[in-house]
């Protein structure tokens, strides 16, 4: 299953990269988030039913979503960041990513090990995180910007 997820992540990255060029990073990232929600929902269905083969679909969909996320999110960040502050924006992006890397497993552990709820409840919590991210991003426009000259200068020259 891991091989399938890795393979579909490669395909997802290539396809999403081309779609990002055609339709913009926001639309592609939104689509990736919907695929994530579908994959997590499929995981819950697979765990609560006897549809074990659904796990293969979930693994493939998760790989596609991961590749698409990686292909579109950095383009999105580059498009909304003033060129002179690109380093700072990517630093914040990396910090938020590390926070998410901590928050997801922490929420999973609390739900499963502390609250003694099933893993499906933890997967539901991850879906809530994805939906929250989608809601937050719905307010961020990715249209190309016309930056002021001061935003095009290196940070040391503009300050």
Supply the DSSP string of 27-80, one letter for each residue.
HHHHHHHHHHHHHHHHHHHHHHSS-TTHHHHHHHHHHHHHHHHHHHHHHHHHHH
Give the per-residue pLDDT at 147: 76
Distance of alpha carbon 101 from the chain centroid: 12
Give the per-residue pLDDT at 117: 96
Q: How many residues does the chain have?
A: 159
What the chain holds in terms of domains, given with CATH numbers, is 2-158 (1.20.1250.20)
Using CA atoms, how far residue 13 sits from 19, 123, 130, in Å, is 10, 24, 19
Between CA 17 and CA 76, with CA 3 as vertex, the angle to 5 degrees is: 20
- Greater confidence (85 vs 121) lies with 121
Averaged over 11-16, what is the pLDDT?
96
Q: Are 40 and 127 in contact (CB under 8 A)?
A: yes
Give the per-residue pLDDT at 84: 85
Averaged over 84-109, what is the pLDDT?
91
Q: DSSP 3-state helix, strand, coil percentages of the chain (rounded to 5)?
A: 85, 0, 15
Q: Which residues contact 97 (CB under 8 A, 6 or more apart)?
A: none
Averaged over 69-76, what is the pLDDT?
92
- Greater confidence (24 vs 150) lies with 24
pLDDT tens digits along 32-70: 999 999 999 999 999 899 888 888 999 999 999 999 999
Q: What are phi and psi of 119, to 5 degrees?
A: -60, -30
pTM for this structure? Answer: 0.85
User: Across all residues in the chain, what is the average pLDDT?
Assistant: 90
**Per-residue pLDDT at 159 exceeds 60:** no
Rounded Cα–Cα distance for residues 31 and 96 (Å): 21
Averaged over 135-156, what is the pLDDT?
80
- Greater confidence (104 vs 52) lies with 104
- Residue 93 is encoded by which pair of tokens? 């992006």
Give the per-residue pLDDT at 157: 55
pLDDT tens digits along 109-141: 999 999 999 999 999 999 999 999 999 999 898
């Amino acid at each position: 299953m891991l091989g399938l997820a890795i393979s579909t992540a490669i395909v997802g990255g290539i396809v999403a990269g081309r779609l990002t060029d055609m339709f913009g990073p926001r639309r592609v990232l939104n689509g990736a988030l919907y695929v994530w929600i579908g994959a997590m929902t499929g995981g819950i269905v697979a765990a609560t039913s006897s549809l074990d083969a659904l796990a293969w679909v979930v693994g493939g969909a998760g790989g596609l979503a991961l590749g698409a996320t990686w292909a579109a999110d950095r383009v999105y960040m580059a498009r909304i960041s003033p060129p002179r502050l690109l380093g700072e924006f990517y630093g914040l992006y990396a910090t938020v990513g590390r926070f998410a890397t901590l928050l997801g497993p922490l929420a999973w552990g609390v739900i499963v090990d502390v609250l003694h709820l099933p893993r499906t409840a933890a997967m539901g919590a991850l879906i809530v995180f994805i939906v929250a991210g989608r809601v937050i991003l719905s307010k961020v426009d990715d249209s190309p910007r016309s930056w002021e000259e001061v935003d095009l200068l290196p940070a040391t020259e503009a300050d």
